């Protein structure tokens, strides 16, 4: 479960929670600006880097819950001198106790993640939230008068669309692995009873009897993974993806023999050699061995994360936040 889904769940249930955000980093730090962790009374969701820093953040968050603190707080830690961590940099953490009034901005955040536009969310020391257009607003913090502070965070979708065709053993393993990574996942199968009873939260699942035709509904730049129960169906899906041409990745489960047969069949359907070179089979990084479904899923997730387009999105997210305190 993501920190955002967990936060909305807590608010709906009336449970206490504190959202911890890495608001500023200097030097070497375990997590980037914008990393978040939701601290609940019973557990945590997400991470701000582990180690002593995270333990102190959890303790402080639970103290705020116990004391009924309502306003956010901004705390600074020097990882070396204060905490004995070898990173040696410095981190500012924003701790925000959540209540029913936070539902609105969290829901807005959820909507922004699924849209094309970026926004700037400013959190003040009073707890006030303000959304503005991110264009021309710059990154980081703005100095305000007195002892007040602000945290300004650029919010945008950093997820790449991934369409997984097939809900067999490998498809199910992929769903578990990919759900917590920066991907927007659509999971498809031709069988209405093909999916497990419990679908990981955040994954769209589609039962499409004419599965190959569903390829046309994917957005441009999609990362495709093809691993259905039928070689003929795999072939038809790959054929349609290659004809589109606007995909970012096409991975097919199988062996070198399967790839050779598919290339021959696809050539017979009129695909040029340059187009066929874009078909990746087998899927997964070769450095990660094993044919178990979870091993294939981990190797494939690593392969997708290594793609330049995915790394560009991750770099955009790293530049998402900053803080500054006003002069006294």
> Which residue reads 């249930």 in tokens?
13
The per-residue pLDDT for range 153-179, each reduced to its tens digit, is 888 776 789 999 999 999 999 999 998
- pLDDT (0 to 100) of residue 80: 62
- pLDDT score, position 142: 36
Domain residue ranges of the chain, discontinuous segments joined by +: 3-111, 160-311
Instruction: Could you list the beta-strand ranges (E) of 27-140.
Output: 36-40, 44-46, 73-78, 90-97, 119-124, 129-133
- Put simply, whether the predicted model's pTM sits higher than 0.75 gets the answer no
Q: Return the CATH number of the domain spanning residue range 160-311.
A: 3.40.50.720
Q: Give the closest residue to 224 by CA, choosing from 169, 267, 183.
A: 183
- Stated as kind and residue range, the H or E segment containing 93 is strand 90-97
Residues 106-136 have pLDDT tens digits of: 999 988 887 778 888 989 999 999 998 876 4
| Residue-level pLDDT at 25 | 84
Contact residues for 68 (Cβ-Cβ < 8 A; gap 6+): none
What is the 3-state composition of the chain as percent helix, strand, coil, each rounded to the nearest 5? Answer: 35, 25, 40
3-state SS assignment for residue 13: helix
Residues of the chain under the 50 pLDDT cut: 136-145, 313-328
Distance CA 134, CA 286 (A): 41
Q: What is the pLDDT of residue 49?
A: 83
Three-state DSSP state, 40: strand
| 8 A C-beta contact, residue 59 and residue 83 | no
> Do 50 and 79 touch, CB atoms closer than 8 A?
no
């Amino acid at each position: 479960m993501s920190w955002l889904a967990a936060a909305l769940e807590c608010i709906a249930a009336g449970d206490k929670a504190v959202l911890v955000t890495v608001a500023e980093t200097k030097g070497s730090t375990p997590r980037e600006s914008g990393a978040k962790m939701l601290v609940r009374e019973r557990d945590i969701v997400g991470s701000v880097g582990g180690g002593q820093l995270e333990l102190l953040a959890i303790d402080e968050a639970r103290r705020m819950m116990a004391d009924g603190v309502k306003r956010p707080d901004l705390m600074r830690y020097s990882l070396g001198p204060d905490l004995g961590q070898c990173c040696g940099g410095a981190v500012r953490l924003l701790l925000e106790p959540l209540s029913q009034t936070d539902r609105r901005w969290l829901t807005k955040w959820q909507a922004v993640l699924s849209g094309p536009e970026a926004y700037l969310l400013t959190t003040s020391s009073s707890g006030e939230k303000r959304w503005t257009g991110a264009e021309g607003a710059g990154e980081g913090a703005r100095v305000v008068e007195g002892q007040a502070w602000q945290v300004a965070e650029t919010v945008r979708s950093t997820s790449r669309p991934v369409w997984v065709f097939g809900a067999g053993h490998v498809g199910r393993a992929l769903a578990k692995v990919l759900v917590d990574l920066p991907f927007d996942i659509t999971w498809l199968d031709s069988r209405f009873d093909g999916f497990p009873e419990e679908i990981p939260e955040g994954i769209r699942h589609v039962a499409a009897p004419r599965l190959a035709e569903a390829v046309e509904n994917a957005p441009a730049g999609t990362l495709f993974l093809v691993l259905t129960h039928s070689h003929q169906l795999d072939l038809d899906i790959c054929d349609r993806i290659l004809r589109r041409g606007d995909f970012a990745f096409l991975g097919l489960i199988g062996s070198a023999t399967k790839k050779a047969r598919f290339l021959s069949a696809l050539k017979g359907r009129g695909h040029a050699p340059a187009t066929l070179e874009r078909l990746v089979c087998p899927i997964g990084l070769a450095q990660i061995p094993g044919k178990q479904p979870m091993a294939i899923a981990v190797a494939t997730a690593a392969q997708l994360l290594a793609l330049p387009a995915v790394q560009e999105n991750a770099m955009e997210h790293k530049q998402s936040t900053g803080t500054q305190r006003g002069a006294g």
